[in-house]
Amino acid sequence: MKTFDQYVALAEQAHGHICAGQILGLRMAIYGLNLLGLTEPEGKDRKRLITFVEIDRCATDAVAVVTGCRLGKRALKFRDFGKVAATFCDLVGNRAVRVAAKESSKQRAREMYPEIQDKNLQQMRAYRELPDSELFDYQWVRVRISPEDLPGFKGPRVVCSACGEGVNFGREVVRDGVALCRSCAGERYYEPLEP
């Protein structure tokens, strides 16, 4: 693993700035990997790690920096729970640990550095220094990952009967024997506009 300051520099580069969320995300990922005993997430441990993140905020970019898990590699999974939490899954060891930021960490930052008026700077400093036990709760969990959700999965591609777009990884919906993409099956997140 890299030094913390090296991770900070990489996180700033990846995210565009450094902030309290980034520091918290870096610490969270390092803690999760340490709990699993994985020391080389971008080296020998690269193919054994999948990470689930529960928020689409700054901390998620930092988690990706430390773990090397990326959406495009199918090793970073997003579940929109709105929580500063992540689950680190060791595929080889068949174990997983969920790490969640403690709500009390913000108060601890205020107590540690009341003289720092800028909340972000106050939290960044405290989050660097607080012990893991004051920043995070963790829980050993079981995560069932289906074969089609694993990196490198090769599966059939289905063509949607309605729009003609291809659908990968078993994400189609079959209705009355007809394969549809999720959008055509009524699960759109967008509304088409007429040309």
CATH number at 170 reads: 3.30.60
Going by C-alpha positions, the residue among 39, 38, 64 that lies closest to residue 52 is 64
Q: Are residues 136 and 103 in the same domain?
A: yes
**Contact partners, residue 120, CB within 8 Å, separation at least 6:** 19, 20
| Per-residue pLDDT in tens (0 to 9) along the chain, 195 residues | 899 999 999 999 999 999 999 999 999 999 999 999 999 998 898 889 999 999 999 999 999 999 999 998 999 999 999 999 999 999 999 999 999 999 999 999 999 999 999 999 999 999 999 999 999 999 999 999 988 888 888 888 999 999 999 999 889 999 999 999 999 999 999 888 987
Number of domains in the chain: 2
* Cα Dmax for the chain: 66
Per the CB < 8 A criterion, the answer to whether 158 and 141 are in contact is: no
Which domain CATH number covers 22? Answer: 3.30.1330.130
CA 113 to chain centre: 29
Burial category of 171 from C-beta neighbours within 10 Å (exposed 0-12, middle 13-18, buried 19 and up) = exposed
Whole-model pTM: value is 0.89
Q: Is 36 found in the same domain as 103?
A: yes
**192 in any annotated domain:** no
Q: Look up residue 163 and give its two tokens.
A: 């729009």
**Residue 127 shares a structural domain with residue 178:** no
How far apart are alpha carbons 55 and 45 in whole angstroms? 24
